[in-house]
Amino acid sequence: MTMFDLTGRTALVTGSGKGIGFGLARGLGQAGARVVLNGRDEARLARAAETLRGEGLSVAVAPFDAADHAAAAAAVARVEAEIGAIDILVNNAGMQFRTPLEDFPVERWSELMRTNIDTAFFVGQAVARRMIPRGRGKIINIASVQSELARPGIAPYTATKGAIKQLTKGMCTDWARHGLQVNAIAPGYFKTELNQALVDNPEFSAWLEKRTPAGRWGNVEELVGAAVFLASDASSFVNGHILYVDGGITASL
């Protein structure tokens, strides 16, 4: 189905050395895109790129700190000059820190805001400034079920993901008239390194399986279809949308 074909397009995925970012980069590459992996750990990026190249995918790396405004702008300029125009941006960089809100360290609050919100704005703005004159572009932000729901111990993370939901709508409102589609994928609970402690906790896993209508954790591969849809021509009139891929957890009490 040609409307889902990403051949000839370049996709920059932030935070893609592991976890969801790596899985989405792989999926976009399998759909035909040239993928540009981003992160701060150059050794990890090199290993991730080697793995994907071994699968026959077209891969480049762009190590930079997405939470640094100047570094992000310079890196986007470098990618466009050396690799090609960025057609697809996936703002995936993120982190988690769990502790009761009354004990939450202020330095961790600031780190969460920089990593989960600033990165999406900094890289999104730098890429959009280049997409706008071309009259086209796809930006996919990674939100969460915590864009809608909260759990004990992660209030600041919940605040960041609520902000990503609204930033997505704001980006759409400003940039749709220039031919950009800006949407978000909101994953539920997926088996990733970020969630490994929860996966390994029998009590939490039992609660999650009971709470989720699908009755299980999600697998990262199950996010790929949503990403390819939002990155492709198939979603040409989808804008400002938050696509929940969560096994039904936001649909059920």
Active site amino acids: 157
What is the C-alpha to C-alpha distance for residues 143 and 33, in angstroms, rounded to an integer? Answer: 22
Q: What is the end-to-end Cα distance of the chain in Å, rounded?
A: 37
Long-range Cβ contacts of 171-175 (<8 Å, 24+ apart)? 171/124, 171/128, 171/139, 171/141, 171/240, 172/239, 172/240, 173/240, 175/128, 175/131, 175/132, 175/139
Radius of gyration of the chain from its Cα atoms, rounded to whole angstroms: 17
Q: How far is CA 235 from CA 141, 147, 164, 182, 209, in A?
A: 15, 22, 20, 10, 31
Residues 6+ away with beta carbon under 8 Å from 150 = 158
SS3 181: strand
